[in-house]
């Protein structure tokens, strides 16, 4: 009876399109409010966590624990002067931040926040909508969000914003391919591109037989498809322009990148789109790889963990954990150089992902293995291969040259080599004066010896 009830809680594509208009409107408002509230709390959360890592307090004056500091900053930006550059394309300059915000919020429409629940007597999934190609909707929204950044940098009529927009376009092309290939592994395994269907496929674990022992394994694709999960998360950080991949808005190189000429509410919209995209991609990662709204072990030992409104709590907990990883990366890793960033995307992530997809497709064609067993074994082997590829030295290390060898290898006319022992050598003029005085000293010394 309990298994039948739990199966009835899993939404399917047939459950969508039957809600009354007021319920659909309520879901849309909830998704939009979730994006706005996540931005307000996300900025506060990031400032507090980074402050903790840097051994400083962070915002703690406005509201309890500084919770209203982000709201105060938003109101301050709303009342600041809106400056329009003279050389800017006024129409594109105005709509570019709006494109980024709409794209980030739209992706939340296909994210399942929970199972089917009863709302005023109507059984409905906790999801705005779902389609058979919902994963492609997420990829499309992620790609469209970059248009706002590119158009904002181009329409500003300034050098630094243009460079930031060009960097963003190259960044999107480089890491969108790796992200798409990671998702290919997910719907190859799940057999569907529906987000609710992918969550349902991760519902139960399986038994892995190794050496006659039956080992229970979870159904999360983060474990079964470990290389795809790692590559997807790295590509996700690059897609959202977060540190250490924040090349489009590198303040040490491009002032503020594509946002340099923006002010007031349009600047706030760009900030909003960045944090909404971060929360949205965390929700996407939770849906595709971390079991979605389903409770983790050992909470699953409670029979009612995945019933009613409780799954929303597990879903938000996983999203907050991934947002913390975003903040953790920003507080600990330095920004990559542009050439390092592009080389890592094209020469590391993409080849590994292609090989992993090829191996996964080949193993799925073997008939005498259980699906989960072969995927888990392959994931372990591919994870070891991934780590070996990342950390394997590319060439044999050469012995470190001595200071004298470094000095002898300098080309003629180059700047003098700094001393290795931090001792300042005598200047050439001092050497010349000593050489000129040395014969006189020798003569004087010989005369004194004769006397």
Q: What is the DSSP string of 333-395?
A: -PPPPHHHHHHHIIIIIHHHHHHHHHHHHHHHT-SSS-HHHHHHHHHHHHHHHHHHHHHS-SS
pLDDT above 50: residue 282 = yes
What is the model's pLDDT at position 451? 44
Q: Mapping DSSP to helix (H, G, I), strand (E, B) and coil, where does residue 415 land? A: coil
Averaged pLDDT for residues 99-104: 86
What is the model's pLDDT at position 430? 61
What is the model's pLDDT at position 1? 37
What is the model's pLDDT at position 210? 45
Supply the mean pLDDT for the chain: 78
Which of the four pLDDT bands, split at 50, 70 and 90, describes residue 102?
A: confident
Kind plus residue range of the DSSP H or E element containing 254: helix 251-254
Which of the four pLDDT bands, split at 50, 70 and 90, describes residue 283?
A: very high
pLDDT above 50: residue 447 = no
What is the model's pLDDT at position 408? 65
Which of the four pLDDT bands, split at 50, 70 and 90, describes residue 320?
A: very high
Give the CA angle between residues 61, 320, 44 to the nearest 5°.
20
pLDDT above 50: residue 286 = yes
What is the model's pLDDT at position 415? 61
For 116, phi then psi, to 5°, come to: -75, 135
What is the model's pLDDT at position 366? 66
CA 283/CA 127 separation, integer angstroms: 12
Q: Mapping DSSP to helix (H, G, I), strand (E, B) and coil, where does residue 322 land? A: helix
pLDDT above 50: residue 262 = yes
Contacts of residue 398, Cβ cutoff 8 Å, sequence gap at least 6: none
User: Is the separation of the CB atoms in 58 and 129 below 8 Å?
Assistant: no
User: Is the separation of the CB atoms in 277 and 38 below 8 Å?
Assistant: no
pLDDT above 80: residue 375 = no
User: Is the separation of the CB atoms in 139 and 241 below 8 Å?
Assistant: no
Take residue 43 and report the two structure tokens written for it.
Answer: 């900025």
Q: Mapping DSSP to helix (H, G, I), strand (E, B) and coil, where does residue 206 land? A: strand
Q: Exposed (0-12), middle (13-18) or buried (19+): which is 166, by Cβ within 10 Å?
A: middle
What is the model's pLDDT at position 323? 92
Strands 213-217, 122-126: parallel, antiparallel or unpaired by DSSP? unpaired
CA 30/CA 112 separation, integer angstroms: 12
Which of the four pLDDT bands, split at 50, 70 and 90, describes residue 339?
A: confident
pLDDT tens profile 123-135: 889 899 888 889 9
Q: Exposed (0-12), middle (13-18) or buried (19+): which is 118, by Cβ within 10 Å?
A: exposed
Q: Exposed (0-12), middle (13-18) or buried (19+): which is 261, by Cβ within 10 Å?
A: buried
Asked which of 268-272, 353-357, 372-376 is least confident by mean pLDDT, the reply is 372-376
Averaged pLDDT for residues 372-392: 63
- With helix as H, strand as E and coil as C, how does 135-183 read? HHHHHHHHHHHHHHHHHHHHHCCCHHHHHHHHHHHHHHHHHHHHHHHHH
Higher-confidence residue: 22 or 213? 22
Averaged pLDDT for residues 79-101: 84
Averaged pLDDT for residues 400-405: 67
What is the model's pLDDT at position 448? 45
Higher-confidence residue: 307 or 399? 307
Averaged pLDDT for residues 128-156: 86
Take residue 409 and report the two structure tokens written for it.
Answer: 């290898």
What percent of the chain lies above the pLDDT cut of 90? 10
Around 190, how many Cα atoms within 13 Å sit in the side-chain half-sphere? 31
What is the model's pLDDT at position 202? 85
CA 219/CA 291 separation, integer angstroms: 8
pLDDT above 80: residue 420 = no
Averaged pLDDT for residues 98-123: 88
Averaged pLDDT for residues 344-362: 84
Report residue 448 CA to chain centroid gap: 82
User: Is the separation of the CB atoms in 174 and 248 below 8 Å?
Assistant: no
Take residue 196 and report the two structure tokens written for it.
Answer: 């609710």
pTM for this predicted structure: 0.77
Which of the four pLDDT bands, split at 50, 70 and 90, describes residue 191?
A: confident
What is the model's pLDDT at position 78? 82
Which of the four pLDDT bands, split at 50, 70 and 90, describes residue 426?
A: low
Asked which of 227-236, 237-246, 251-260 is least confident by mean pLDDT, the reply is 251-260
Higher-confidence residue: 229 or 208? 229
What percent of the chain lies above the pLDDT cut of 70? 74
Averaged pLDDT for residues 132-151: 86
What is the model's pLDDT at position 208? 46
pLDDT above 60: residue 225 = yes
């Amino acid at each position: 009876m309990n298994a039948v009830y739990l199966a009835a809680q899993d939404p399917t594509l047939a459950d969508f399109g039957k809600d009354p208009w007021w319920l659909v409107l309520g879901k849309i408002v909830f998704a939009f409010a979730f994006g706005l509230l996540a931005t307000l709390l996300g900025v506060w959360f990031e400032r507090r966590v980074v402050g903790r890592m840097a051994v400083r307090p962070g915002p703690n004056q406005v509201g309890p624990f500084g919770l209203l500091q982000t709201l105060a900053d938003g109101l301050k930006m709303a009342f600041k002067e809106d400056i329009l550059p003279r050389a800017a394309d006024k129409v594109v300059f105005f709509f570019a931040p709006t494109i980024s915000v709409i794209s980030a919020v739209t992706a939340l429409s296909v994210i399942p926040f929970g199972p089917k629940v009863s709302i005023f007597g109507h059984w409905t999934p906790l999801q705005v909508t779902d389609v058979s190609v919902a994963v492609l909707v997420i990829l499309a929204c992620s790609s469209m969000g970059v248009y706002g950044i590119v158009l904002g940098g181009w329409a500003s009529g300034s050098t630094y914003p243009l460079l930031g927009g060009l960097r963003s376009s190259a960044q999107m092309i480089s890491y969108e391919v790796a992200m798409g290939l990671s998702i290919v592994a997910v719907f190859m395994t799940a057999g569907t591109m529906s987000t609710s269907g992918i969550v349902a496929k991760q519902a139960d674990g399986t038994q892995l037989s190794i050496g006659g022992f039956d080992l229970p394994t979870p159904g999360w694709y983060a474990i079964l498809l470990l290389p795809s999960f790692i590559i997807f998360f790295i590509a996700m950080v690059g897609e959202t322009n977060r540190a250490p991949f924040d090349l489009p808005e590198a303040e040490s190189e491009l002032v503020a990148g594509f946002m340099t000429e923006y002010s007031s509410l349009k600047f706030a919209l760009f900030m909003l789109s960045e944090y909404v995209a971060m929360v949205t991609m965390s929700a996407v990662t939770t849906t595709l790889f971390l079991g979605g709204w389903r409770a983790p072990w050992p909470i699953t030992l409670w029979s009612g963990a995945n019933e009613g409104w409780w799954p929303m709590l597990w879903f938000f907990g996983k999203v907050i954990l991934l947002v913390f990883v975003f903040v953790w990366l920003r507080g600990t890793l330095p920004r990559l150089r542009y050439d390092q960033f592009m080389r890592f995307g094209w020469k590391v992530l993409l080849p590994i992902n292609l090989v992993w997809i090829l191996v996964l497709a080949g193993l799925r064609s073997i008939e005498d293995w259980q699906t989960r067993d072969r995927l888990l074994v392959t994931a372990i082997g591919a994870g070891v291969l991934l780590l070996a590829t990342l950390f394997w030295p590319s060439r044999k290390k050469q012995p470190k040259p001595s200071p004298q060898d470094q000095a002898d290898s300098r080309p003629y006319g180059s700047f003098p080599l700094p001393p290795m022992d931090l001792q300042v050598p005598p200047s050439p003029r001092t050497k010349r004066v000593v050489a000129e005085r040395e014969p006189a000293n020798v003569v004087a010394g010989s005369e004194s010896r004769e006397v």
